[in-house]
Amino acid sequence: MPKLQGKVALVTGGGRGIGAAITRRLANEGATVVVTYGRSGEKAQTLITEIESAGGSGLAVRADNRDPAAVEAAVERTVDTFGRLDVLVNNAGIFDVKPLPELSNEDFDRTIEINVKAVFVATRSAASHMQEGGRIITIGSNLAERVPGATISLYALSKAALIGFTKGVARDLGPRGINVNIVHPGSTDTEMNPADGETADLQRSLMAIPRYNDPDEVAGLVAWLAGPESRGVTGAGFTIDGGSNA
């Protein structure tokens, strides 16, 4: 039997990139999957159609991560539609790259609202529905732990905040048997950061193993954390970056 058979998973920003790979992998493991999207509605719906055609079940829900009410509504719709919520993957995020003097207050607000506040809102809302065995997995970044160059300060700030939040929530929810962890991808071959992009060689030069992640590799780690074999793992961070932070 698939390891996630009978489980319901919500993946924020799950219609493209790493999020889409995670969604496919959780569906392949037997989970019913719900994905949220902001502007990528067509991609999200195409993904759900693909999963349903393969015999799975899912739903695409529009939710602007800058709108806490929309994030909460996505959680509630998941539970209303499928009767439960077992796995939350906080995947949605933005990557704003500018030198510090060029960063505006609006840049700060947007990054924190999407990368941090939406994670807080989704986690709080999802936790209220989860039973023992629930899983909350947040997608962070290896840049939360090491910043190898300029222009990344705001993004690094937002992802570093998620480390402390993960550890704190793991303590809050541990007595209920809910596991809370964070995954820190490094350079991963997506539309946002393609392996043949103009800065790709520079990124590879920082790695011990000079190759980009495939999104499916990140998805595999997330699927393990979502499954029964990770019962003893909580409050932990997992870096998958080819050794960039080694």
Which residues have a catalytic role annotated? 155
Query: What whole-number distance in Å separates Cα of residue 155 and Cα of residue 160?
Result: 9
Query: What whole-number distance in Å separates Cα of residue 130 and Cα of residue 212?
Result: 34
